[in-house]
């Protein structure tokens, strides 16, 4: 079965090797007999709700975020319709900020967002940088964060996880990321998915559920020995900071 992925602005939002997340999803899908069919969605391209099972936004510098933000906001209603129809979303760092209501940068630039995730972001005085470990519903998730943004979730919003070590959304709340149904936003780079196979499989299962119109399937287990070792190294670095 082919899993249809809409990769938003890959030429602009691809800092810290975030394109590697697509490669991981493609490989883990292929090992189960599925194929990732990736369509790049650029500035000016239309979004057709129902055409993709998963939408992906990577991270970018403020300049790149500013370049895409107004086009992304123009796609907001179609993207929210896709989410309401069961499509999955993964948004990393700058993409995470723009999947919320928007981001105000260091120089006062207001970058409108999709308004899908119940959050907003403003730039802080210093960057939050380092290894990070969080605890989520799918288990521990490890990565690397490097962001100036301070992301504030709405009171009823669900974070992706609780910070074990690191800064997370704002360095104060103790939470990292946000999850709304099949949409996940996070600051974790690395890239994120190579060292977090359980999260990768959760995302694949959500995308497959949209493709089939059913429930998220139980995916066949894989040999994740190397992935587990990578996660253990990242977790150890986070705990040792």
Q: Which residues are catalytic?
A: 93, 189
Q: What are phi and psi of 80, to 5 degrees?
A: -65, -35
Q: How many CB atoms lie within 10 A of CB 13?
A: 27
Q: For the sheet containing 178-180, what is the strand order?
A: 35-41, 2-8, 54-57, 88-92, 183-186, 178-180
| Separation between Cα atoms, residue 214 and residue 158, nearest integer Å | 24
Q: What are phi and psi of 144, to 5 degrees?
A: -130, 135
Residues 96/99/104/110 CA torsion (nearest 10 deg): 150
Under 8 Å between Cβ of 168 and 147: no
Q: Is the dihedral of CA 225, 228, 232, 233 positive or negative?
A: positive
- H or E element at residue 5: strand 2-8
Coil, strand or helix at 29: helix
Q: Which of 81, 122, 76 is nearest to 99 (CA)?
A: 76
Residue 122 pairs in a beta bridge with: 104, 150
Q: Where are the beta strands (DSSP E) in 187-235?
A: none
């Amino acid at each position: 079965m082919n899993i249809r992925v809409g990769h938003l602005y890959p030429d602009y939002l691809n800092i810290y090797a975030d394109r590697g997340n697509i490669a991981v999803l493609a490989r883990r899908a292929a090992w189960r007999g599925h194929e990732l069919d990736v369509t790049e969605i650029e500035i000016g391209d239309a979004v057709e709700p129902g055409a993709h099972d998963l939408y992906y936004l990577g991270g970018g510098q403020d300049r790149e975020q500013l370049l895409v933000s107004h086009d992304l906001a123009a796609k907001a209603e179609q993207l929210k319709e896709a989410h309401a129809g069961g499509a999955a979303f993964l948004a990393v760092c700058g993409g995470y900020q723009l999947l919320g209501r928007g981001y105000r940068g260091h120089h006062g630039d207001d970058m409108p967002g999709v308004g899908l995730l119940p959050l907003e972001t403003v730039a802080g005085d210093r960057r939050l940088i380092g290894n990070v470990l969080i605890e989520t519903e799918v288990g521990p998730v490890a990565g690397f964060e490097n962001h100036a943004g301070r992301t504030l979730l709405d009171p009823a919003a669900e974070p992706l996880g609780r910070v074990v070590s690191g800064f997370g959304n704002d360095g104060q709340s103790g939470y990292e990321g946000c999850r709304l149904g099949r949409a996940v936003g996070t600051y974790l780079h690395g890239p994120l998915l190579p060292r977090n196979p359980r999260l990768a499989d959760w995302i694949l299962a959500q995308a497959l559920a949209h493709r089939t119109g059913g429930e998220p399937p139980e995916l066949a287990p894989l040999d994740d020995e190397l992935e587990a070792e990578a996660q253990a190294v990242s977790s150890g670095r986070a705990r040792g900071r």
